[in-house]
């Protein structure tokens, strides 16, 4: 349940009502919304207490949540959340493109990939340094050195960087190397220990939907991040596993209008992992923006045939540039705007270690 107060309600009155709830043993959470006080009541309340709250003149609305979450609910904010990644705004009508290779493959390779992404118009650079691979014999990433190379390549082009963290023990390396956004991958969506630790790291978190996760499970994972201190959560639909084998996964675009009703969080789509087929990725990217996504995350590589991982789904430089041009056009038609580039990640690369 969420209590939405009248604008201008005094802090003293808000504290009094919160204290009343806490005397009944009910946990509460205050929204970061700046325009007015919004309080989520975490625990169920009795009909008598609900009636009492509805009678308070300061309480404009008492809203039932759309699911078993509180902080992720649409009613917890007046406006959609906008997340800043190194100065690049995600959400609120600002359309972004995250691009780069699946894996950081060495300094020369990531420098070339970053240059391709920047020239094509992408605002954010992606690259994996710690890779979750189905086979134990596949390339597992360059680790901390990969993070360092990714960050340097991004800084030289004014592009904040996104990379996947697989375990809480890796977080200090991500902090020390100034990685701007932590990605929680599909296989770790319900790694609750990792979610709690990542929430304390002081970075935006890109949360990918699990391979077979329902929307409710996905938003509950987002609630873990929000409940443990991370207000800057971005959802990313990347396809789910179904009986269909024609594509790598099945891209679920039905979640986009649904999530707009259920949550205030920004939403990206990863058509690369959904399709696994480069020729269909541009169409899926166009459809994602048209259906309401705040941007797309795509894999691109200077020479996909030589990629160390996921080369089969990586776009060529010209294909990436064409995709971004189409995304720009659709965003403009729908009244959105293509996000501005960051400023060499200024102010986003504090180098203190994360809390484990």
At 156-194, the pLDDT tens digits run 999 999 999 999 999 999 999 999 999 999 999 999 999
Confidence label for 341 from pLDDT (cuts 50, 70 and 90): confident
At 276-327, the pLDDT tens digits run 999 999 999 999 999 999 999 999 999 988 888 877 889 999 999 999 999 9
The answer regarding whether domain 83-338 maps to CATH 1.10.1060.10 reads no
Confidence label for 339 from pLDDT (cuts 50, 70 and 90): confident
For residues 21 and 43, is the Cβ–Cβ distance under 8 A? no
Write out the two tokens for 36. Answer: 């007015």
Burial class (CB in 10 A: 0-12, 13-18, 19+), 63: middle
Domain with CATH 3.20.20.70 in the chain: 83-338
**Distance between CA atoms of 136 and 125, rounded to whole angstroms?**
27
**Distance between CA atoms of 240 and 209, rounded to whole angstroms?**
8
pLDDT at 124 over 90: yes
Helical (H) or strand (E) element with 320: helix 317-333
Q: What is the pLDDT of residue 131?
A: 82
Strands 59-63 and 2-5 turn out to be: antiparallel
Question: Span 6-34, mean pLDDT?
Answer: 93
Confidence label for 348 from pLDDT (cuts 50, 70 and 90): very low
pTM for the full predicted model = 0.92
CATH placement of domain 2-64:
3.30.70.1140
Question: Span 253-269, mean pLDDT?
Answer: 97
Q: What is the pLDDT of residue 141?
A: 81
CB-based contacts of 195: which residues, under 8 Å, 6+ apart?
184, 221, 224, 225, 228
Count the alpha carbons within 13 Å of 120 in the hemisphere toward its beta carbon.
31
For residues 44 and 87, is the Cβ–Cβ distance under 8 A? no
Where are the alpha helices (H) located in 157-199, listed in sequence order? 171-176, 192-199
SS3 annotation, 206-232 = EEECCCCCCHHHHHHHHHHHHHCCCCC
For residues 320 and 117, is the Cβ–Cβ distance under 8 A? yes
For residues 82 and 266, is the Cβ–Cβ distance under 8 A? yes
Confidence label for 273 from pLDDT (cuts 50, 70 and 90): very high
pLDDT at 19 over 70: yes
Domain with CATH 3.30.70.1140 in the chain: 2-64
**Distance between CA atoms of 266 and 286, rounded to whole angstroms?**
17
Helical (H) or strand (E) element with 99: strand 94-100
């Amino acid at each position: 349940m969420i209590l939405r107060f009248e604008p201008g309600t005094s802090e003293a009155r808000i504290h009094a009502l919160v204290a009343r709830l806490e005397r009944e043993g009910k946990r509460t959470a205050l929204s970061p919304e700046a325009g007015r006080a919004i309080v989520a009541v975490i625990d169920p309340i009795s009909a008598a207490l609900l009636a009492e709250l509805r009678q308070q003149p300061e309480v404009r609305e008492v809203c039932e949540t759309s699911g078993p979450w509180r902080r992720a609910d649409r009613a917890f904010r007046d406006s959609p959340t906008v997340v800043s990644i190194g100065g690049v705004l995600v959400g609120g009508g600002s359309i972004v493109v995250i691009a780069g290779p699946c894996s950081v493959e060495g300094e020369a390779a990531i420098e070339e990939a970053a240059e391709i992404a920047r020239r094509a118009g992408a605002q954010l650079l992606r690259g994996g340094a710690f890779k979750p691979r189905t086979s134990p014999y596949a390339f597992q990433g360059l680790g901390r050195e990969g993070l360092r190379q990714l960050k340097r390549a991004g800084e030289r082009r004014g592009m904040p960087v996104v990379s996947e963290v697989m375990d809480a023990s890796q977080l200090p390396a991500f902090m020390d190397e100034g990685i701007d956004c932590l990605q929680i991958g599909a296989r770790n969506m319900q790694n609750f220990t990792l979610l709690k630790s990542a929430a304390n790291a002081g970075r935006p978190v890109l949360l990918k939907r699990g391979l077979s996760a329902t929307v409710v499970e996905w938003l509950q994972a987002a609630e873990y991040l929000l409940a443990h201190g991370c207000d800057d959560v971005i959802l990313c639909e990347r396809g789910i596993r179904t009986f269909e084998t024609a594509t790598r996964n099945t891209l679920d675009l039905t979640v986009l209008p649904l999530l707009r009703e259920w949550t205030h969080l920004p939403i990206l789509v990863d058509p690369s992992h959904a399709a696994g087929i480069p020729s269909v990725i541009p169409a899926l990217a166009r459809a994602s923006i048209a259906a309401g996504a705040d941007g797309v995350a795509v894999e691109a590589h200077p020479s996909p045939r030589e990629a160390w991982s996921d080369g089969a789904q990586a776009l060529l430089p010209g294909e990436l540039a064409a995709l971004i041009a189409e995304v720009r056009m659709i965003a403009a038609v729908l009244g959105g705007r293509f996000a501005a580039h960051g400023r060499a990640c200024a102010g986003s690369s504090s180098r203190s270690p994360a809390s484990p």
